[in-house]
Amino acid sequence: MERYVVGEDQTKLVRTYKAWKGNNVFCLQGRLIFGPDVRSLPLTIFLIVGPLIIFLVMVGRKLMDDFNHWGVAVVVAPVVFTCWTLCVLLLTSSRDPGIIPRNKRPPEPEGYERSAESLPGQTPRLPRTKDVVVNGTVVKVKYCDTCMMYRTPRSSHCSICDNCVERFDHHCPWVGQCIGVRNYRFFYMFVTSATLLCVYVFSFCWVYITMIKRSEDITIWKAMIKTPASIALIVYTFIATWFVGGLSVFHFYLISTNQTTYENFRYNYDRRANPFNRGMFHNFAEVFCTSIPPSKNNFRALVPVEVGFPERQVSRDYFTSNMRKEYSDIEMGKNREWLEDSLQEGGHHGAQHSEISTEKDAATTDVGRSRSAKVPPKQVPYHPRNSSW
Ligand SMILES: [Zn+2]
Ligand SMILES: [Zn+2]
């Protein structure tokens, strides 16, 4: 297939998804977007569908006979419910989670004017953080070196996908996608549906064992031995329920207090005021009853082949321990400042990958000695270079 399309003015055009700088995997010519670890998705589907098939064949089929006219419902209900679970799983993993498009060049520093003392070639410095007011609380947002922009409140850079994601919750390796503003509700529906499915299979395996016990008038242990598939399913769903059920309860708590997993691990709102908390009812409405914001990316749009990036220098010193201490000392309150974004980026179910992400950012940007980010002076021409695409 042709790599480029030539536009009317002879500019080379390429589909956005082909020139994508993040680590995402695209399917159906950019119609579906996954994280780089999408290969774990078939495993997740297998972990759902596999036990269901065993349940239907080894347990459900026999329960159908015992339940008379309710028997069909015992088998059909988990099939329908599994289809629903797979739907919300795919809605979680195959769509834009809320990626903020990267800037092509760094923003101009606000209020910057070249002074008379400025030496030729001297570059203005971008402040590392910017203040944003959220519900009367000053929130500091961090400059993202990779995306060359100030992040919006609650957004964070996923070190695995290499994108800034709005209302970043975490990167879920099981669904192979970031969980952000556009797929959080589907993710929550997925974990709660999976929990209910586990409880259903667990319960009906016990029902089946009890029926064997009654019909053959034997002890419960002997009845269990007669159906090893039920024992395997009971053990499997018991373990799985702790995992997905625990996640469901944890995210119920996060939604009710309007926190993300990332914020919960990072900031511990229990001991500080959370500027996003609007009360339990409104917090739930915010997640489930608001329209999903449209994607900020059109992965199939034709864009000119990028010819180069301006040089900019960003400090490695920013990530030093002194700075970490400086930021950890910032406290939050009505008249205090809140460091919205952190020095640590990304996360795996809340686990923080500070070193990975720091190195990632350092590897993908030009790193200088200065503490502040630098942008090129206006008179420096925009040097083209060969695109990697
Ligand atoms: Zn970013
Ligand atoms: Zn991610």
Dist. CA 387 → ligand 2 center (Å): 24
Domain boundaries, the chain: 13-99+172-304
Residue 358 corresponds to which tokens in the numbers above? 């720091």
Q: Which ligand is nearest to the CA of 103?
A: 1
Dist. CA 262 → ligand 1 center (Å): 15
Q: Where does 257-319 have alpha helices with state H? A: 261-267, 280-288
Give the closest residue to 179 by CA, choosing from 170, 189, 188: 170
Strand partners, 150: 143
Q: Please give the chain's pLDDT, 389 residues, in tens.
A: 545 666 666 678 888 888 888 899 999 988 999 999 999 999 999 999 999 999 999 998 888 887 777 778 888 999 999 999 999 999 999 999 999 999 888 777 665 544 444 455 455 577 778 878 887 788 888 899 889 889 989 999 999 999 999 999 999 999 999 999 999 999 999 999 999 999 999 999 999 999 999 988 888 899 999 899 999 999 999 999 999 999 999 999 999 999 999 988 887 655 667 888 888 999 999 999 999 999 998 888 888 886 654 433 333 333 333 333 333 322 233 333 344 443 334 444 433 333 333 333 332 222 233 334 433 433 333 332 222 22
In this prediction, residue 85 carries a pLDDT of 96
Dist. CA 151 → ligand 1 center (Å): 7
Torsion, Cα 254 345 40 242, to 10 degrees, reads: -30
Dist. CA 146 → ligand 1 center (Å): 5
Q: Which ligand is nearest to the CA of 158?
A: 2
Residues 172, 178, 198, 205: which is the catalytic one?
A: 172
Radius of gyration of the chain (CA): 26
Give CA–CA dist 270/259, Å, rounded. Answer: 10
Residue 355 corresponds to which tokens in the numbers above? 């070193």
Residues 14, 1 contacting (CB under 8 angstroms): no
Q: Which ligand is nearest to the CA of 143?
A: 1
Residue 194 corresponds to which tokens in the numbers above? 């999976």
Dist. CA 158 → ligand 2 center (Å): 5
Q: Where does 177-320 have alpha helices with state H? A: 184-216, 220-226, 228-240, 246-256, 261-267, 280-288
Q: Which ligand is nearest to the CA of 98?
A: 2
Q: Which residues line ion ligand 2, judged by CB < 5 Å?
A: 35, 158, 160-161, 171, 178
In this prediction, residue 104 carries a pLDDT of 83
How do strand 12-15 and strand 5-6 relate by DSSP bridges? antiparallel
Dist. CA 270 → ligand 2 center (Å): 26
Residues 283, 260 contacting (CB under 8 angstroms): no
Dist. CA 371 → ligand 2 center (Å): 27
Tokens 């972990």 belong to which residue? 47
Dist. CA 336 → ligand 2 center (Å): 31
Q: Which ligand is nearest to the CA of 101?
A: 1
Dist. CA 164 → ligand 2 center (Å): 9
CA 43-46-49 angle, 5° bins: 155
172: annotated active-site residue: yes
Q: Which ligand is nearest to the CA of 100?
A: 1
Query: What residue type is assigned to position 144 of the chain?
Result: C
- The residues near 127 (Cβ < 8 Å, ≥ 6 apart) are 109, 143, 372
Distances (CA, A) of 184 to 152, 189, 240, 243: 17, 9, 21, 18
Dist. CA 165 → ligand 2 center (Å): 8
Dist. CA 261 → ligand 1 center (Å): 18
